[in-house]
Amino acid sequence: MNLKQMAGIEAARYVEDGMIVGLGTGSTAKFMVDEIGRRVKEEGLSIVGVTTSKETERQALALGIPLKGIDEVPYVDLTIDGADEISEDFQGIKGGGAALLFEKIVATYSKKCIWIVDDSKLVKQLGKFPLPVEVVPYGSQQLVRLFEEKGFAPVLRTTPNEELLVTDGGHSIIDLHLEEITDPIALGTYLDQLVGVVEHGLFLNVVSTVIVGGQAGPKTIHVSE
């Protein structure tokens, strides 16, 4: 079985009747949403989903999963989402699929977050994967210049058609090619205070459980309860 599919299906087992479930974005999350859709249809599982992107919303609606917006629920019981890199101390980079802002908002109001990845996403230290920074388009070139001065090797993200990428929130993304992030907390704090930065892809102290798809089967790591 595809390793991402393995992790996605395993994670869907954590979803229980009555839960409000945050539905992540990306190719791994897609398998999880498919499996939840199957459980809704075949097992009569009764949940409300809160999606983290237009893409996931389209998928969930097509599968018949009942949905509410993040502002229509008091909290989210459990969010299941993918990740681009997870370090040894379970900090993460997300946003490869450009959904980091909504993903972070949903994660923030979730009681528990499960990340689902294939084993290639587990790294010693974060940073090989370019760190996405979501920015307001107005003044974005000034931020690119600032990041260049800092040696962050910034690249404004474009679509496969080479048009400027626009996120679901109407923003741009600057990918920082850092190679290594020695102090994610300090970097996150620095990015948080920059004018024009809406959010960044460092997801720090967020995850409760990691499910890793590997050749030997899915491995579940409980980070915190």
Closest CB to ligand 5RP among 169 and 196?
169
Is 111 annotated among the ligand-binding residues?
A: no
Rounded CA-CA distance 112/115 in Å is 10
With CB under 6 A as the contact rule, the residue among 99, 105, 113, 212 that binds ligand 5RP is 99
Smallest gap from Cβ 120 to ligand 5RP, in A, equals 9
Rg (CA), the chain: 17
Pick the binder of ligand 5RP from 14, 27, 38, 165 (CB under 6 A): 27
**How far apart are CB 91 and ligand 5RP at their closest, in Å?**
14
Judge whether 180 and 127 are in contact, CB under 8 Å.
yes
Active site residues: 103
Separation of alpha carbons 73 and 51, rounded Å? 12
List the one residue out of 122, 134, 112 whose CA is nearest residue 194. 134
Question: Where is 103: in which H helix or E strand?
Answer: helix 100-108
Closer Cβ to ligand 5RP, 39 or 104, answer by number:
104
Does the annotation flag 53 for ligand binding? Answer: no
From the number of C-beta atoms within 10 Å of its C-beta (0-12, 13-18, 19+), residue 69 rates as: exposed
Q: Which residues, 6+ apart, have CB-to-CB distance to 219 below 8 Å?
A: 211, 212
The residue among 96 and 218 lying less far from ligand 5RP, judged by its C-beta, is 96
Is residue 22 close enough to count as binding ligand 5RP by CB under 6 A?
no
Question: Would you count residue 57 as binding ligand 5RP (CB under 6 A)?
Answer: no
Determine the angle formed by the axes of helices 27-43 and 3-12, rounding to 10 degrees.
40
Binding mask 77-96 for ligand 5RP (x = CB under 6 A): ----xxxx---------xxx
Q: Residue 3, interface with ligand 5RP (CB under 6 A)?
A: no
> Does residue 110 bind ligand 5RP (CB under 6 A)?
no
Residues of the shown chain interacting with ligand 5RP in the complex, contacts defined by CB under 6 A: 4, 24-29, 81-84, 94-100, 103
Q: Binding site residues for substrate, as ranges?
A: 25-28, 81-84, 94-97, 121
